[in-house]
């Protein structure tokens, strides 16, 4: 079974507690503290595995817990660090917070492992707390607590071309003709219950990946039927191929169908409706010459002025299919190379993240303000500041957490520099 959504529980490891002990050796009657530090808890790490194409594994195993760090030992012995837990996901997976539905991380363009939950820091042993007035401290620092979270994993299929249209217009037949995919084909609604991916191989090494998105019905954007499950797979496609039943075998009006689907796409995500689109009037083999000419002329009069090309095809006989594929290939080549990526909307916060941030003025330059803190450091690690959406998220974070107001209260003016770890920003209203 194809699984494109899963709810899982993830937990990082707790930091090991620091140890309380004292040096006890022959001829050393009053040895000092020698309690070692606790080990760091394991991280929860997500990695993209190119060999996976579903989330089936997460249907079978729903809890992923890293190991806790071990307690420190006597004789300054450092506790062992907890093992990390590695979660392998297919390309196109988006990690969302289960409670809010907001994006934590989009793994689509991530070539390196991503730490979603950090293991707790190990506590200091009592050897760190000896002073001139307290030479036998009987306390040690506990390890930081584990971080835990319920997340939703969503797989948004990565394909160059997405096939859309109402049920029974011939999308699956078309896909089976032009690719090596072998979808189930039958004459009833929602035959295709899973997205089918296939590779179109043209001559001279040209080709592209095409996805058959299961039949969309009106109301899909509001969750009618299986609409929302299907619509998310269109989000990453570069070009949309709208297949309609040109022969109106089931009495449908192809023009009304196209506008109905466009309306659903706009309601779901207006950016999708602005992607390059091509119309394939299918089932030409079921009409005579006069009927074919009438239907194609009607579709072209309606959509060509909108910049949408119309092709007459037959998925059964192969008529017109080659010209359509080369036109799709041209549009794919002209489309931006970057995969659509969903920017983080939410940074998970935990007890230790609520430690206050600090703002200091650089002693070497009164126009440089240094801002640091656990929550801020985590947010910077999650956010792609090179993208417009990512930078907007960063600015909202600074404002919502009162950092901007506090900087202004400390005298920050336009043109001053805000330094955060290894990043610097010029401040302007």
User: What is the 3-state composition of the chain as percent helix, strand, coil, each rounded to the nearest 5?
Assistant: 30, 20, 50
**Dihedral, 397, 400, 406, 412 alpha carbons, nearest 10:** 60
Q: How confident is the model at residue 79 (pLDDT cuts 50, 70, 90)?
A: very high
Q: How confident is the model at residue 382 (pLDDT cuts 50, 70, 90)?
A: low
Residue 123: closest CA among 142, 137, 138, 147: 142
- 386-401 average pLDDT score: 80
Phi, psi of 71 (to 5 degrees): -65, 150
**Mean pLDDT of all residues belonging to the chain:** 81
Res 236 pLDDT > 80 = no
Tens digit of each residue's pLDDT (9 = 90 or more) over 266-300: 887 778 878 899 999 988 888 888 888 888 999 99
193/245: higher pLDDT: 245
Write out the two tokens for 53.
């194409």
Res 1 pLDDT > 50 = no
Res 213 pLDDT > 50 = yes
Phi, psi of 7 (to 5 degrees): -105, 125
Tens digit of each residue's pLDDT (9 = 90 or more) over 335-364: 876 666 777 777 777 765 566 678 888 888
**Per-residue DSSP letters for 140-186?**
-PPPPPP-EEEEEEEE----SEEEE--TTSSHHHHHHHHSS------
Tens digit of each residue's pLDDT (9 = 90 or more) over 155-180: 877 778 888 888 777 777 888 888 76
| pLDDT at site 340 | 66
CA–CA gap between residue 121 and residue 70 (Å, rounded): 11
- 397-409 average pLDDT score: 87
| pLDDT at site 229 | 56
Q: Judging by DSSP bridges, how do beta strands 239-245 and 277-282 pair with one another?
A: parallel
CA–CA gap between residue 192 and residue 164 (Å, rounded): 12
| pLDDT at site 352 | 58
Distances (CA, A) of 399 to 113, 167, 404: 30, 47, 5
Query: pTM of the predicted model, to two decimals?
Result: 0.62
What percent of the chain stands above pLDDT 90?
A: 23
Tens digit of each residue's pLDDT (9 = 90 or more) over 292-305: 888 899 999 999 99
């Amino acid at each position: 079974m194809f699984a494109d959504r899963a709810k899982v529980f993830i937990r990082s490891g707790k930091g090991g507690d620091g140890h309380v002990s004292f040096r006890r050796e022959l001829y050393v009657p009053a040895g000092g503290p020698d309690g070692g530090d606790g080990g760091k808890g394991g991280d929860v790490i997500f990695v993209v595995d190119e060999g996976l194409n579903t989330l089936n594994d997460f249907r079978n195993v729903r809890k992923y817990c890293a190991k806790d760090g071990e307690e420190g030992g006597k004789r300054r012995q450092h506790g062992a660090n907890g093992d990390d837990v590695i979660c392998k996901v297919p390309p196109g997976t988006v990690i969302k917070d289960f409670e809010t539905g907001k994006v934590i991380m989009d793994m689509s363009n991530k070539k390196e492992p991503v730490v979603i939950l950090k293991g707790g820091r190990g506590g200091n042993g009592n050897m760190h707390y000896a002073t001139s007035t307290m030479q036998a401290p009987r306390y040690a620092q506990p390890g930081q607590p584990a971080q835990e979270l319920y997340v939703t994993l969503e797989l948004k299929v990565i394909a160059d071309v997405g096939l859309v249209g109402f049920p029974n217009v011939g999308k699956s037949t078309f896909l089976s003709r032009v690719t090596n995919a072998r979808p189930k084909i039958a004459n009833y609604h929602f035959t295709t219950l899973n997205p089918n991916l296939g590779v179109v191989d043209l001559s001279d090494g040209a080709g592209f990946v095409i996805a058959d998105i299961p039949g969309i019905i009106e109301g899909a954007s509001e969750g009618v039927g299986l609409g929302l499950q299907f619509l998310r797979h269109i989000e990453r496609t570069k070009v949309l191929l709208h297949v309609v039943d040109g022969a109106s075998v089931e009495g449908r009006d192809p023009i009304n169908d196209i506008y109905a689907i466009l309306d659903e796409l706009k309601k779901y995500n207006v950016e999708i409706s602005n992607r390059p689109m091509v119309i394939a009037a299918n089932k030409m083999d079921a009409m005579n010459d006069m009927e074919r000419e009438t239907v194609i002329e009607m579709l072209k009069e309606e959509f060509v002025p909108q910049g949408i090309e119309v092709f007459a095809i037959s998925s059964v006989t192969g008529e017109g299919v080659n010209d359509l594929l080369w036109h799709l290939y041209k549009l794919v080549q002209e489309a931006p190379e970057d995969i659509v990526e969903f920017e983080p909307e939410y940074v998970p916060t935990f007890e230790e993240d609520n430690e206050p941030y600090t703002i200091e003025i650089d002693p070497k330059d009164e126009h440089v303000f240094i801002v640091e803190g656990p929550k801020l450091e985590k947010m910077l690690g999650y956010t792609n500041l090179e993208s417009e959406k990512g930078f907007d998220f960063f600015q909202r974070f600074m404002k919502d957490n009162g950092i901007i107001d506090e900087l202004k209260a400390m005298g920050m003016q336009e043109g001053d520099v805000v330094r955060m770890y290894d990043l610097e920003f010029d401040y302007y209203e």
